[in-house]
């Protein structure tokens, strides 16, 4: 069904830049903006928007999901990032949700490779020695020949696998519906995880947060991992059990962890993770790079062309599968 002239609301902390891009692609549309969580309901009512481009710019807590997915007027919500757990649940017969999957896949894959190399090259250890002006008997370790286990074979997981193979790594993958996938030596279902943990030198977590993935990487998983493995988490807080992770880091079961997501964000000051020398801690920014917002809005504009002409939208998210 064609939607000739929808009313569009841009829910973002960069409204002027987003509006400029949308106007350049769709100059005939009425475009409203909102740059707060608290003001979204009023902005929707005032504008009468049936299409919303929305960025989770203020984090998850307090996000006005009901205003979007339970609105009697809104028919399509285009999420500016990839994760949509902050909108769950929604009824797909009432509102369509799409995401910008792939907008940051290459950047996140570089984050994954960079943090893996940081541990294999012991960059933190060398930085400490440098700060103390100590000349040490240094040693570096290649990642070629090591094994990467990827949980979640979306665009980020696939981009990371491509780079890992280029570095000479073996790559194992886990996805809900296993099938042969480029750059993966093996692809398994979730039921194979207990057999895969001991094989991995690096574990990349990039699955969406769903009831089926909450707590997926738990104490039993850490106990089954190879001693000295490294965990890299760019998924969502809640997929990894933080208490079990901290214990695995303290006991040396894990060599280290690169963490970009946390159960509570910002990470509380009292969290032990802040002070752990075997942790690389980043503030949920592995997908944030110069130009990502512009690229995301342009993806929305392309989808908006399809919406207006009655074509099938790309990146439609299934609320059950989470992608």
Instruction: Output the tens digit of pLDDT for each of the chain's 323 residues.
Output: 777 799 999 999 999 999 999 999 999 999 999 999 999 999 999 999 999 999 999 888 899 999 999 999 999 999 999 889 999 999 999 999 999 999 999 999 999 999 999 999 999 999 999 999 999 999 999 999 999 999 999 999 999 999 999 999 999 999 989 999 999 999 999 999 999 999 999 999 999 998 889 999 999 999 999 999 999 999 999 999 999 999 999 999 999 999 999 999 999 999 999 999 999 999 999 999 999 999 999 999 999 999 999 999 999 999 888 87
The first and second tokens of residue 304, run together, are 């908006």
Report the number of distinct structural domains present in the chain. 2
Query: How does DSSP assign 276-313, residue by residue?
Result: -TTEEE--S-TT--TTHHHHHHHHHHHHHHHHHHTPPP
| In-domain check, residue 59 | yes
- Same domain for 208 and 134: yes
Give the separation between CA 4 and CA 305, rounded to whole angstroms: 9
- Same domain for 227 and 98: no
Instruction: Give the CA distances from residue 175 to residues 60, 74, 90, 158, 264, in Å, rounded to whole numbers and listed in that order.
Output: 25, 32, 23, 11, 26
Among candidates 287, 226, 280, which has minimal Cα distance to 103?
A: 287
Q: Which residues form the catalytic set?
A: 236, 265, 284
| In-domain check, residue 317 | no
Give the separation between CA 39 and CA 67, rounded to whole angstroms: 10
Among candidates 66, 212, 98, 86, which has minimal Cα distance to 151?
A: 212
- Same domain for 51 and 109: no
- Same domain for 71 and 134: no
pLDDT of residue 174: 98
| In-domain check, residue 316 | no
Strands of 180-266, DSSP E:
186-188, 202-205, 229-233, 254-259
**Burial class (CB within 10 angstroms; exposed 0-12, middle 13-18, buried 19+) of 14:** middle
- Same domain for 184 and 129: yes
| In-domain check, residue 267 | yes
Contact criterion met (CB below 8 Å) for 118 and 255 = no
| In-domain check, residue 321 | no
Among candidates 193, 107, 196, 199, which has minimal Cα distance to 156?
A: 107
| In-domain check, residue 33 | yes
pLDDT of residue 226: 96
| In-domain check, residue 315 | no
Q: Residue 58, SS3?
A: coil
- Same domain for 127 and 52: no
Give the list of residues 6+ apart from residue 225 with CB closer than 8 angstroms, or none. Answer: 197, 198, 200, 203, 248, 253, 254
Give the torsion sign (CA, 104, 107, 112, 113): positive
Among candidates 117, 113, 110, which has minimal Cα distance to 140?
A: 117
- Same domain for 270 and 301: no
pLDDT of residue 221: 98
- Same domain for 239 and 123: yes
Calculate ∠ Cα 235-218-240, nearest 5°. 20
- Same domain for 142 and 240: yes
Number of helices and strands in the chain (H, E): 10, 12
Among candidates 82, 60, 67, which has minimal Cα distance to 9?
A: 67
Domain that holds residue 86: 7-103+289-309
| In-domain check, residue 272 | yes
- Same domain for 78 and 94: yes
Q: How far apart are the first and last CA of the chain?
A: 23
Tally the C-alpha atoms within 13 A of residue 298's C-alpha that lie toward its C-beta: 7
Q: Domain containing 194 — which CATH number?
A: 3.40.50.720
Omega within 30 of 0 (cis) for the link into 266:
yes
- Same domain for 53 and 35: yes
Residue 178: alpha-carbon gap to chain centroid: 20
- Same domain for 204 and 78: no
Give the torsion sign (CA, 16, 78, 212, 189): negative
């Amino acid at each position: 069904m064609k939607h000739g002239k929808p009313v569009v609301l841009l829910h973002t902390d960069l409204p002027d830049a987003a509006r400029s891009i949308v106007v350049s692609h769709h100059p005939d549309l009425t475009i409203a903006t909102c740059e707060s969580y608290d003001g979204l309901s009023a902005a929707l009512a005032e504008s009468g928007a049936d299409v919303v481009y929305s960025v989770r710019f203020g984090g998850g807590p307090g996000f006005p999901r009901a205003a979007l997915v339970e609105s009697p007027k809104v028919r399509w919500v285009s999420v500016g990032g990839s994760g949509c757990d902050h909108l769950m649940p929604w009824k797909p017969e009432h509102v369509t949700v799409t995401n910008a999957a792939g907008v940051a896949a290459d950047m996140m894959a570089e984050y994954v490779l960079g943090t893996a190399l940081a541990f294999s090259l012991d960059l933190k250890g060398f930085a400490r020695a440098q700060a103390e002006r100590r000349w040490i008997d240094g040693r570096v370790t290649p990642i070629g020949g090591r094994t990467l286990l990827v949980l979640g074979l979306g665009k980020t997981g696939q981009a990371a696998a491509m780079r890992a193979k280029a570095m000479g790594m073996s790559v194992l993958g886990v996805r809900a519906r296993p099938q042969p996938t480029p750059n993966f030596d093996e692809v398994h279902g979730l039921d194979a995880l207990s057999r895969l943990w001991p094989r991995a030198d690096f574990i990349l977590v990039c699955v969406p947060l769903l009831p089926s993935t909450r707590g997926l990487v738990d104490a039993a998983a850490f106990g089954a991992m190879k001693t000295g493995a490294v965990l890299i988490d760019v998924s969502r807080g809640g997929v990894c059990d933080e208490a079990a992770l901290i214990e695995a880091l303290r006991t040396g079961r894990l060599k280290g962890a690169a963490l970009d997501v946390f159960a509570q964000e910002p990470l509380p000051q009292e969290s032990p993770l802040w002070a752990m020398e075997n942790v690389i801690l980043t503030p949920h920014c592995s997908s944030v790079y110069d130009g990502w917002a512009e690229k995301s809005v342009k993806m929305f504009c392309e989808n908006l062309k399809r919406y207006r002409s009655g074509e099938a939208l790309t990146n439609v998210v299934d609320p059950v599968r989470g992608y």
